[in-house]
Amino acid sequence: MKKLKFGIVGASGRMGQEIAKVIENTKGAEVFYPFDREDKWDSRKAAQVDVWIDFSSPEALKDVLKRASEHKTPVVCGTTGFSKKEKDLLEKYSKTFPVLWSSNMSLGVAVLNEALKSLAAISHFDFQIEEIHHNKKKDKPSGTAITLQENLKKAVQKDLPEPLAIRGGGVFGIHKVYSMSDEEVLVFEHNALNRTVFAKGAVQAATWLVKQKKPGLYQIRDVLFGKK
Ligand code: NAD
């Protein structure tokens, strides 16, 4: 059986290495083109990649999408810290081939984002999002907290206080959504126990994305619930 050939951008990074381990342990998959900042780009090798996974930096995105677009190779991107410029690039390139971007590739957070819709029923409560991450994380608040905030805002239809961001130790990622009234406090909490959770989600998303026939900007939730 032909193996699914993965390209990884940011291959030497914390997530890139974790993703490679998950691919090597996935039947019918191989790490075909691990690429990092210092490597010379090999366009002949890139032409054979079935799907790219990019966990690198916002600056890398333009090249990643431009290079993938040459062969319409699907891209799963987990990089965070994007400004409007990068989000516009995702929109632009996803019109011609499948691109999946999610600030958090864990399936639990995908479900949490869906669960936020139920808070519409208690929109009169006070809300606060809090996140904790390891002390090496560059962006603050986390991309996940920003996505949760956007979805919470959509659900409760009002302005919210900015997410609280704490940095320390080796925490992989804790996100909490507090809903508070005078009588009760409801907390939705997600706790990533290791980095593998994001790597497994990204590899699952990539395996799903190569089967999508239509171009489009997909999210990890679409893997579980279908495209909106
Ligand atoms: P890291 O700093 O350990 O690794 C990033 C790697 O990308 C480095 O090896 C770096 O050399 C490489 N890189 C940077 N610019 C590049 C370029 N232009 N071309 C090629 N390679 C380039 O960081 P990390 O902890 O692995 O995280 C990477 C990104 O993934 C961050 O944005 C982080 O927030 C995000 N992240 C997302 C999720 C998710 O589930 N979506 C989970 C964890 C981390």
Q: What are phi and psi of 89, to 5 degrees?
A: -65, -40
pLDDT digits (tens, 9 = 90+) for 80-134: 999 999 999 999 999 999 999 999 999 999 999 999 999 999 999 999 999 999 9
Is 13 near ligand 1, meaning CB less than 6 Å away?
yes
Is 173 near ligand 1, meaning CB less than 6 Å away?
no
Q: What is the DSSP letter of 183?
A: S
- Most ligand 1 atoms within 8 A of CB, residue of 8, 12, 14, 15 to mutate: 15
- Which are the contacts of 115, defined by CB distance < 8 A and separation ≥ 6? 188
- Spacing, Cα 128 to ligand 1 middle (Å): 28
Is 108 near ligand 1, meaning CB less than 6 Å away?
no
Question: What is d(CA 227, CA 49) in angstroms, rounded to the nearest whole number?
Answer: 24
Q: Which residue has the tokens 């989600």?
A: 201
pLDDT digits (tens, 9 = 90+) for 161-205: 999 999 999 999 999 999 999 999 999 999 999 999 999 999 999
pLDDT at 227: 83
Could you identify the atom of ligand 1 that is nearest to the CA of residue 136?
25
